[in-house]
Amino acid sequence: MKATFGAGCFWHVEDLFSKIAGVTSTSAGYIGGELENPTYDQVCTDKTGHAEAVEVDYDPAKISFEDLLDVFWANHNPTTLNRQGPDMGIQYRSAVFYHNTDQREIAQSSKQALEKSGKYNDPIVTEIVPAPTFYKAEEYHQKYFKKNGL
């Protein structure tokens, strides 16, 4: 199964999900914009509409989509529009790109539960939208932390 998340800079997000039992592979890339096969430089202009995202392949017998969402929510700020920490721009937006109706419903329920929990004073701005074409980022972005000893 696939899950796709935008939660800021894809280097951190990819590293995080790659270490979870039941995740079989991860890829850093771009999703949700107008341009086909965008490059990192193009996405960084904040004009293509893409989000930096991570496509997660997982074994649902070992980890659930709900568990992946728990990791997603716990590891970024879903209340900052087009920003994570010092990174600003539409490419750093918080988003769940769902691959089927079940994922959409689970993500919406999860978001509603988090909103009702009172954990955040500000509204959650995370988009929950259908997954369009995912474009794998350049090779130097894949497993960036591991390749660079970070």
Task: For residue range 101-118, list pLDDT tens digits in order.
Answer: 999 999 999 999 999 999
> What is the side-by-side order of every strand in the sheet holding 127-130?
127-130, 94-98, 2-7, 51-58, 23-31, 134-136
Q: What is the CATH number of the domain that holds 133?
A: 3.30.1060.10
Which candidate in 3, 7, 9, 90 is catalytic?
9
Structural domain containing residue 58: 2-147
pLDDT tens for each residue of 30-82:
999 999 999 999 999 999 999 999 999 999 999 999 999 999 999 999 999 99
pLDDT at position 91 over 90: yes
pLDDT at 150: 83
> Can 44 be counted among the known catalytic residues?
no
Task: Confirm whether pTM is higher than 0.95.
Answer: yes
Q: Is the pLDDT of residue 149 over 90?
A: no
> Number of structural domains, the chain?
1
Alpha carbon distance 142, 122 (integer Å): 33
